[in-house]
Structure 1
Amino acid sequence: MIDLSDTKKDTNTVPSVNPDALLADIDKESAYRRLSGSWHLIITVLLIAFSLFQLGTSILGTLPAQLQRMVHLGFVMLLGFWLYPATSKGDRNKMHPLDFVLGLAFVGIAGYYIINYKDLVARSGAYTTLDLIIGAIGIVLVLEACRRIVGIPIVVIASLFILYAYFGPYMPGFMNHRGYGISRIISHLFYTTEGIMGMPLGLCATFIFLFILFGSFLEKTGIGQFFIDLSNGIAGFSAGGPAKVAVLTSALQGTVSGSSVSNTVTTGSFTIPLMKSLGYSPEFAGAVEAAASTGGQIMPPIMGAAAFLIAEAVGVNYFDVAKAAIIPAILYFSGIWIMVHLEAKKLGLKGVPREKLPKIWPLLRDKGHLLLPLVAIVALLIMGKTPTFSALGGIAASIVVPYLRKSTWVPFKEVASALVSGAKNTIGVACACGVAGIIVGVVTLTGLGLKLGEGLFSLTGGLILPTLFFTMITSLVLGMGVPTTANYLITSVIAAPIIMKLGVPALAAHMFAFYFGILADITPPVALAAYAGSAISGGNAFKTGCNATKLAIGAFIIPYIFVLSPELILIDTVWYEVIQIICTSLIGMLGVSACMTGYLMGKTAWWERILLLAGGLMLIIPGLITDLCGIGLVGGVAAFQYITYRKLKTVQV
């Protein structure tokens, strides 16, 4: 840890923030009951049983798809109603009788489904009245659980989709369809693999759970603190060091974390006060952490489990997705890093003295082996192993690795604790996946995806840039307040097909939708990660969101570039072109960042900022002509500034 006793005192009041309480206020998934006594024991046993069921079926072989998903959903719904009160003002210290009944009610529904599974399959399309009543109650309970745990936005969207399926004949223009009766909607959404029991929940019931569990095991090994110490050792001493530490730590933490808000709070509780103590404004400090933490969701290898979802949807292997995501992720974090550096230079901010920082080599010698589970899981995936096998290998490695050195030993009870936290962290994701299944189900039932594509095409005249712009807005809206996994599932179903209609490669289209869905976490008005950062920094939430959006400007530009030039995500390119793309794009990010901060080697004039932005964008776009023009513009401004400020320093001397 860092001794800050001699660092510059913060003139702003830094609120004393309890990370758990802050998460509960901002992130609904963290607002669960803290029960004691018998209820605590019962919930703990259920959570461990949930994890063991998932591990057991992964190792020994899964049940038939629909049974596996229903058992998974049964655990989720029971634990969801028992752990999460109906409102934010609900008592989090005791069980409410209604929640107890609702949890058991869905267990009864799951039991009905499992017991009558063969009969339900046999009478597909001719469901009984009892089947439909059970299905209707099940859909309502899934929506209610999701409202409590994930939030209202995704439930409102799903409800509107259900209404659209029913009121199709009354819809205007291209949205019109023949409409479906209540019995058809219920049976399609609850009893087929096109609705709640569909692909989103199926993925959650198999390998997404395992990757969340893997993250929980890593957390128990102390890898989070290791990331913070390593980042401090690497960058803490440089200009604006604490802000760079936030960028590095969030990038590393994002490889295993599945939540922008959680990442912001866990690393931000340390980095944000440190940034403020060295002179950054509260809004900038909170924005740096929020932008960096949100970027963790686009950082391979895990990408909030989205890498595996994209691979499944596009029909490629995981390695192709991770490979495609790496250059955009490097550019994203490089852009934030450069802006932080230029802002520090502009304000004259220093880093933390080296003697107060961890030493890198002793740290790597003592704790570097904690990285082995991450290395193992990536190696297994690259070797072509299935995501399930790779996740199981990573979990096994994360259990063994802490005991390789005495300095990292953890009590064996932490294994049980990881089983508990892994299951608990899955509840919100699974609820969101179930509701995302409703959205997907309505799309497949009504053909809405095709209709939206045709409607948007008629609106934009088939022009690519206007289509991309409206798709970006759609993804930002759909991504508001939705967890990473469900975020992608929704945006990919609605937005990605629209882009693919333009002839864009499927991988580029899906990544475009994913990027902008993720950016909803820092884009006002619903910018949960930015709000979390502002709560820690004590800054204005809206200004923090605006600053975070400015810092993440690369993420608003890069998706357009890789749609227009898929070489950026390594489609149809060769190794020497990759090196050229990385080098020129990094120079381009320097130009864009200098434009946004108004500083390069000194303060920039308005015309210099325009030239830097134009040159930066040209360099990010792959191509010889654009690269030469971009280097000319950025290099020309840099040379002019060098000569100008060198003369100024000579005069001052």
Structure 2
Amino acid sequence: MADLEKKGAPAGAEAPADGKMTDELQEKLKSLDKESNTMEYGGICGKIVAAICICFSLFQIYTGIFGTLDAMIQRCVHLSFGICLVFLLCPTKKSWVKGGRFHPLDLLLTVLAVIPPLYILVNYQQLILRAGTVTPTDAVVGLLGIVMVLEAARRIVGLPIVIVVLCFLAYGFLGPYMPGPLAHRGLTINQMVGHLFFTTEGVFGIPLGVSSTFIFLFILFGAYLEKTGLGKFFIDIANALAGWASGGPAKVAVISSALQGTISGSSVANVVGSGSFTIPMMKKLGYHKNFAGAVEAAASTGGQLMPPIMGAAAFLMAEFVGIPYMEVVKAAIVPAILYFLGVFLGVHFEAKKNHLEGTPRSQLEPWGKIMKEEGHLAIPLIAIIALLASGYTPMKAALAGIFISIGTAMLRASTRMSFYDIVDGLVKGARGALGVIIACASAGMIIGIVTKTGVGLKLASALVTVAAGNFMLLLLCTMLTSLILGMGVPTTANYVITSTIAAPALIQLGVPILAAHMFVFYFGIIADITPPVALAAYAGSAISGGDPLKTGVNASKLGIAAFIIPYVFVLSPQLLGIGATFGSVLFTTCTAIIGMTGISGAMIGQFYCKANVFERLLLLAGGLCLIDPHTLTDIIGVAILAGVFALQYFRTKKAKAAEA
């Protein structure tokens, strides 16, 4: 957070119309996204990095095909590859790297970082037989492992997550000195190291377990989809479908980002991928630079909410809640639709308010031609949905998706991959997974302290006490906690913290477990567009040349659905399909869509025509009534929106008659 504040607003950089990122823009975006801020080595050092990445990806594919190893062994190998690459690709100081060669200090740190997980692999049988007894050697190696994971997190994820983990570690030591119910017996060095590094309750816990199985394969799958040109296909088809409409380029941004979100779980990556094409088009059409950047930021942030491949935290949710991943996907469908519809309606009303037209149809490629030339690229995505729906595990589905994406790309010469492209996909997949791997390892330490001290239930009870049993106040506290954590901590770690502390408090008050976890998941994600630290908005403003804070405010207005919908599905879990029939879900969805129309109109100040302050308040009230899925509120909401529509219609008609 502090780093962003020191940097201030990045100077605007125009992206070329063909959507390719300039070197200057890439550097500015790297300053915002720590995971992408890695070194590009040449010569022998570049080949060494590529070889490690290839071996890493091949190991994951091998275990995906023939079955994973014992949990501890699988996770140790996974972390060994990941932490090795982090120390090589994120040097202590970039200025120390001369001639594209590794700095000796980074090589030394790489060796030190790899020793602890390899120590477990070499002494695995002895460690099992000792069953929790920590020798002096174990303690030294384990402590080194914890320190190196934290340093890797600082390099690839950022300082905030390190501070959060250190706070939990300090709590483990200072238990006897804590006040009231937070007090506990305290942990010794041996107890903490033994629990956090030599069991599957800490560094090698559930988060790293999920990362070492299907998260990595899904990231690799996304890397190959990018290689096929699927992202370009999404932009092309969105342009053909909506480019001609009012405010066409903005609607293209929303549709393409929604589609891109099905294969990418990174808000900043989505902004970079499609924003370099859509933001210049929006500005050219007449959208203000702050609004143009906000559209892409809001739409791209929704990528982590968009099934079937959501953010990494969604895979963790399936494990924590104890349900198949496909159930998480099903629950996320309606909220995701409402979110993107809200953003789409926002840009539509903005276009109507400012009389912004779209691109003439004659200048757009027909969608039929696009489907004929590029439509086959969507086959892997359709296949993976079908595989997940038919009962395949996420790991097997992702593995099949990788091979299907390579195969379908071969169907046409224009998308065919060369041997180099296939190998490069292995490299990009491994590099793209590093932030998630280290975030999962760090988050595992948080879970380890929570389970060892029991602080999770204590904090959940404390939250309920602070809220004095007031359900809405508890939801508000949980939302603020998730948003604050999300401003500096990646979604994966954010979700781990809030799901172990805040979600249990909601469950205590009767919220279904899936709804409680989805609530904290949503607010952890939309921190990316919530000022003052809004990474997606910063990325959007870097492309548009706008003000990051104003871009973030506009993005929050466009993404207002994400601030409202979680409250709705906690109060009425039917929106997630919990205890609901198809008919009730369909009815709830339809009324919520009408409600989102009113809320978007209120945010932008446009409905049938430009709305005054009183009409905007009515639109907001009517929209909220319709999103709350009860018959009485639905009737009131429809009546209010119909009244505002009639009022504006007759006012506009009267004004036209007066002009005539």
Other-structure match for 2:351: 344
Asked if 1 retains the 8 angstrom alpha-carbon contact of 2:14 and 2:280, the reply is: no
Q: Is the 8 A contact 1:211 1:305 kept in 2?
A: no
Partner of 1:537: 544
Q: 1:14 to 1:213 in 2, by over 3 A?
A: closer
Which stretch has the larger CA shift, 42-51 or 400-409? Answer: 400-409
**1:399 — aligned with what?**
406
1:484 to 483, 488, 491: 491
User: Aligned in 2, Cα 1:148/1:90: closer, same or farther, shift over 3 Å?
Assistant: farther
Structure 1 equivalent of residue 397 of structure 2: 390
Corresponding position of 2:380:
373
Please state if 1:317 is matched with 2:324: yes
Counterpart mapping for 1:331-480 below 5 A: 331-480=338-487
Does residue 214 of structure 2 align to residue 225 of structure 1? no
Question: What is the rounded CA distance, in whole Å, between the counterparts of 2:33 and 2:93 in structure 1?
Answer: 13
Deviation string 1:441-465 (CA, Å, 9 cap, x unpaired) is 1111111111111111111111110
Partner in structure 2 of residue 256 of structure 1: 263
Other-structure match for 2:586: 579
For residues 614 and 211 of structure 2, the distance between their equivalents in structure 1, rounded to whole angstroms, comes to: 51
Deviates more, 1:276-285 or 1:195-204: 276-285
Deviation per residue, 1:371-416 (Å, 9 max, x gap): 1101111101000111111111111110100112233223232110
Alignment match, 1:66: 72
Shift, 1:174, TM fit: 2.9
Aligned to 2:57: 51
* Of 599, 614, 623, the match for 1:616: 623
Displacement of 1:606 = 1.7
User: What letter matches 2:83 in structure 1?
Assistant: M
Tell me the CA shift for residue 192 of structure 1.
0.9
Q: Is the 8 A contact 2:295 2:343 kept in 1?
A: yes
Measured after TM superposition, the shift of residue 61 of structure 1 is 1.5
- Aligned counterpart, 2:31: 25
Q: 1:258·1:484 contact (CA, 8 Å) conserved in 2?
A: no
TM-score by length of 2: 0.95
1:78 aligns with 2:84: yes
Report Cα offsets for 1:193-213 as digits up to 9, x if no partner: 110010000100011000000
State percent identity of aligned pairs.
54
Q: 1:203 to 1:234 in 2, by over 3 A?
A: same
Aligned twin of 1:216:
223
Q: Which residue of 2 aligns with 1:104?
A: 111
Structure 1 pair 493/89, CA: closer, same or farther in 2 (3 Å)? farther
Q: CA deviation at 1:55?
A: 0.6
| Partners of 2:13 and 2:421 in 1: CA distance | 33
The aligned residue for residue 315 of structure 2 is 308
| Structure 1 position 536, deviation (Å) | 0.8
Between the aligned partners of 2:494 and 2:233, the Cα distance in structure 1 is 29
CA deviation string 1:531-586 (max 9, x = no partner): 01111111111111111111111100000000001111111111221221121111
Please name the residue that 2:213 is paired with: 206
Question: Which residue of the other structure, out of 174, 181, 186, is the alignment partner of 1:167?
Answer: 174
CA–CA separation in structure 2 for the residues paired with 1:436 and 1:139: 12
Task: Give me the whole-angstrom Cα distance separating, in 2, the residues matched to 1:288 and 1:172.
Answer: 46
- Segments of 5+ residues of structure 1 without an aligned counterpart are 1-11
Decide whether aligned partners of structure 1 residues 259 and 481 sit closer, same or farther in structure 2, where only a CA change above 3 A counts.
Answer: farther
2-structure distance, mates of 1:283, 1:90: 37
1:233-257 deviation digits (Å, cap 9, x = unpaired): 0111111111111111111111111
Is 1:559 matched up with 2:559?
no
Q: Distance in 1 between the 2:309 and 2:496 partners? A: 16
Select the residue among 115, 137, 142 that pairs with 2:122.
115
The one-letter amino acid of 1:243's match is: A
TM-score between both structures, scaled by the size of structure 1: 0.96
Name the residue aligned to 1:41: 47
**Partner residue in 2 for 1:4:** none
Distance 2:77 2:186 in 1: 32
**Alignment-mate amino acid for residue 50 of structure 1:** F
What is the CA–CA distance in structure 1 between the aligned matches of 2:86 and 2:569, rounded to whole Å?
Answer: 39
RMSD: 1.5
For 2:272 and 2:501, locate their aligned partners in 1 and report how far apart those are by CA, in whole Å.
Answer: 31
- Could you tell me which residue of structure 2 aligns to residue 510 of structure 1? 517
Aligned length: 642
- Among 255, 267, 270, which residue is 2:277 paired with? 270
Take 2:287 and 2:93, find their aligned partners in 1: how far apart are those partners? 37
Distance 1:570 1:88 in 2: 50
Q: Give the deviation of 1:262 after TM superposition.
A: 1.0
Amino acid at match of 1:24: K
For 2:121 and 2:324, the matched residues in 1 are separated by 33
- Measured after TM superposition, the shift of residue 180 of structure 1 is 1.1
Q: Deviations over 1:252-291 (max 9, x none)?
A: 1111112101111121111111111111111111111011
1:173/1:89 CA distance change after superposition, 3 Å: farther
> What CA distance in whole angstroms lies between the structure 2 residues aligned with 1:24 and 1:519?
20
- Which SS does the other structure have where 1:408 is aligned? coil
**Per-residue deviation, residues 463-486 of structure 1 (Å, max 9, x unmatched):** 110000000011112222333333
- TM-superposed CA distance for 1:640, in Å, is 1.2
Deviation at 1:13, TM superposition (A): 7.3
The runs of 5 or more residues in structure 2 that have no matched partner are 1-10, 16-21
Q: In structure 2, do the counterparts of structure 1 residues 14 and 189 end up closer, same or farther at CA, with 3 Å as the change threshold? A: closer
Contact 1:136/1:186, CA 8 A, preserved across alignment? yes
Of the structure 1 ranges 639-648 and 220-229, higher mean CA displacement relative to structure 2 is found in 639-648
Task: Report what 1:498 is aligned to.
Answer: 505
Letter in 1 for 2:46: H
Q: Which residue of 1 aligns with 2:7?
A: none
